[in-house]
């Protein structure tokens, strides 16, 4: 038998199961990867918002990572919420030591409910230390603006310009998620690849916008699906396309779950549950 790829999520816990470590492990499993996890923080949250964050000491984040990599051959890493600069630095140092084959960085900064999830001084560490270690970063429009110290892109031209600016900070590839352009009938993500020798390296990935309020964990789920699928595909374009198709299906089925009274989760196992 062929062993499944092993994916690692470095992120925070979400007790409601819709985002963070819990969403990542579900997305790994749904996309054919064996999931492992290193926690950076505990959150008190539900579908209506975040009420508290308790960070894991950076030295223990390091211990988790070193202990895992000493035994388990991790194929792909997804990085989510890091909370503060010290944890971000600890993760960067561990990645430099262990050099996993694929690294997907989702720069989680603000929750859907508006709660700040990344301290301001950590943005600099994220940009200067982690972006150059990532094979792909997956910011949404506000996150891209935050990383660049500017306003969120308002249109396609500005989005492409910001994606190229992020490449100049050291990222190899940028998937700029366009979901915040809620007035558009299509949800268009822009993939910009600095290693593409064919030309501009810009690809637009479009899918029909799903009319649902149950979008909790969409960013976590997409980046985790990409990490799970990359060892199973030949290139980043087909990987991202497959992950986006998976997320679209999970959004379409989200209203069948009825979890919580706020923004409920996407349906990670829509392909398997009747």
Q: How would you write the pLDDT of the chain (274 residues) with one tens digit per residue? A: 569 999 999 999 999 999 999 999 999 999 999 999 999 999 999 999 989 999 999 999 999 999 999 999 999 999 999 989 999 999 999 999 999 999 999 998 876 656 677 777 888 899 999 999 999 999 999 889 888 988 989 888 899 999 999 998 888 999 999 865 556 678 889 999 987 655 568 888 988 889 999 999 999 999 999 999 999 999 999 999 999 999 999 999 999 999 999 999 999 999 999 7
Residue 264 appears among annotated catalytic residues = no
Residue 220 appears among annotated catalytic residues = yes
Distance separating alpha carbons of residues 180 and 47, to the nearest angstrom: 19
- Compute how many other C-beta atoms are within 10 angstroms of the C-beta atom of residue 151: 12
SS3 state of residue 123: helix
The per-residue DSSP string of 147-205 comes to: HHTSPPP-SHHHHHHHHHHHHHTT-SEEEEB-TT-TTSSEEEEEEEETT-TTSS-EEEE
Distance separating alpha carbons of residues 18 and 15, to the nearest angstrom: 8
Residue 178 appears among annotated catalytic residues = no
User: Which one of the listed residues 218, 239, 244, 264 is annotated catalytic?
Assistant: 218
User: Which one of the listed residues 43, 80, 220, 249 is annotated catalytic?
Assistant: 220
User: Which one of the listed residues 17, 35, 219, 264 is annotated catalytic?
Assistant: 219
Residues 6+ apart with CB under 8 A from 22: 13, 14, 16
Residue 124 appears among annotated catalytic residues = no
Considering Cα of 4, then 245, then 189, then 42, what sign does the dihedral take? negative
User: Which one of the listed residues 177, 179, 249, 264 is annotated catalytic?
Assistant: 177
């Amino acid at each position: 038998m062929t062993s499944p790829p092993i994916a690692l999520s470095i992120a925070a816990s979400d007790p409601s199961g819709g985002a963070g470590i819990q969403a990542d492990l579900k997305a790994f499993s749904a996309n054919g990867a064996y999931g492992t996890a290193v926690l950076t923080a505990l959150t008190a949250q539900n579908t209506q918002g975040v009420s508290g964050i308790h960070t894991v000491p950076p030295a223990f984040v390091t211990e988790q990572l070193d202990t895992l990599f000493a035994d388990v051959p991790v194929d792909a890493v997804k990085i989510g919420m890091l909370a503060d600069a010290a944890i971000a630095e600890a993760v960067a140092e561990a990645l430099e030591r262990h050099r996993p084959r694929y690294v997907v960085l989702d720069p989680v900064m603000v929750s859907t409910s508006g709660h700040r999830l990344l301290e301001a001084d950590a943005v600099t560490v994220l940009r200067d230390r982690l972006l150059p270690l990532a094979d792909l970063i997956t910011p949404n429009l506000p996150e891209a603006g935050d990383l660049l110290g500017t306003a969120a892109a308002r249109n396609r031209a500005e989005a492409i310009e910001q994606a190229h600016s992020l490449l100049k900070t050291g990222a190899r590839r940028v998937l700029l998620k366009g979901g915040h352009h809620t007035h558009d009938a299509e949800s268009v993500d822009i993939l910009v690849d600095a290693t593409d020798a064919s030309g501009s390296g810009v690809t637009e990935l479009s899918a029909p916008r799903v009319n649902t309020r149950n979008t909790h964990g969409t960013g976590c789920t997409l980046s985790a699906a990409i990490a799970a699928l990359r060892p199973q595909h030949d290139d980043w374009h087909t990987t991202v396309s497959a992950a986006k198709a998976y997320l679209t299906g999970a959004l379409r089925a989200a209203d069948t779950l009825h979890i919580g009274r706020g923004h409920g989760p996407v349906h990670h196992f829509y392909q398997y549950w009747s």
